[in-house]
Amino acid sequence: EDTIEVRDPAPDFVISEVRTTRLGSAGESVRLQRILENQGNAAGTMAYGIYLSTDRSFDLMSDRMIGMGSQQLVTGQIDNNIDTVRNASDGTAGAYFIVYVADPDAQVGELDETNNVGFSTNAINIEAASLTILSQALPLGTIDLPYDFILAAVGGSASLTWSISMG
């Protein structure tokens, strides 16, 4: 005997496409083209999270959120638009997939809760942030006495070595 489920009308949010550039830098903005759809039989507001992932699977514990958004979608509506997000400034350089997760907090009862994740077709290669020297000025030194001062910098891709070129 077959069982037929009868339920109230509900939206069904789907991320059908995610596109990104192939190169970015930590801390810089990147534009993401995405297509959001409501394949359900009722209107709703789709909240979504945007994440960086090292693979084409979504793991809330290891993937890093880089943005959020929301879009009101009527039944059958397809929203083809661009989101601008900032890459994590303190993340590790490397190749990352962009992951969109519809209704990440499960606030909307949908017809299908298993189709809420979409991945970029290609990975974005995120390079380390450019080197920025934070130390603004050095204290004065005295001739023939040892001089020691710790300089501060952020960004770059390796440990830094400082030296005096003249003086």
For 40-82, the pLDDT digits (tens) are: 999 999 999 999 999 999 998 999 999 999 999 999 999 999 9
Q: What is the pLDDT of residues 3-29, one digit of tens each?
A: 888 889 999 999 999 999 988 888 788
pLDDT exceeds 80 at position 37: yes
CB atoms within 10 A of CB 37: 22
Confidence of residue 155 (pLDDT cuts 50, 70, 90): low
Task: Return d(Cα 86, Cα 63) in angstroms, integer.
Answer: 15
* Number of Cβ within a 10 Å radius of residue 165: 4
Contact predicate 55/45, CB 8 Å: no
pTM for the full predicted model: 0.75
